[in-house]
Amino acid sequence: MRIPDDAPAACPVCGNAYDSVSEHDAGLMVNLLDNERYRRVCFDPVGVDGEPRVRFYHHTHDQTAGGDRGDPPVAPE
């Protein structure tokens, strides 16, 4: 995992402000159930030097209010 220095000011998925961003080149687990700091993570696929990466935009609870872009959150049953 690395912290990209060229990330946009707002989340490219939902358009909201975010608290932190991380970039991953391998699979990982995500569990935000009962997470006190973060309410949502948006996933943005990017290419870095020709290699696929996924950037995680971490939103706090306050940062998930509103948001006028992107599809509704996925909620698998």
Question: Which parts of this chain interact with Zn ion (CB under 5 A)?
Answer: 11, 13-14, 42, 57
For residue 75, the minimal CB distance to Zn ion (Å) is 15
In which residue are the tokens 């990017």 written?
A: 46
Distance CA 63, CA 59 (A): 5
Q: How far is CA 6 from the centre of its chain?
A: 15
List, in sequence order, every residue forming a beta bridge with 52; answer none if it has no partner.
47
Query: Of the two residues 48 and 73, which places its CB atom closer to Zn ion in the complex?
Result: 73
Q: Least Å distance between CB 48 and Zn ion?
A: 19
Closer Cβ to Zn ion, 7 or 14, answer by number: 14
Minimum CB–partner distance for residue 13 and Zn ion (Å): 4
Q: 12 or 50, CB closer to Zn ion?
A: 12
Side-chain-side CA neighbours of 31 within 13 Å: the count stands at 3
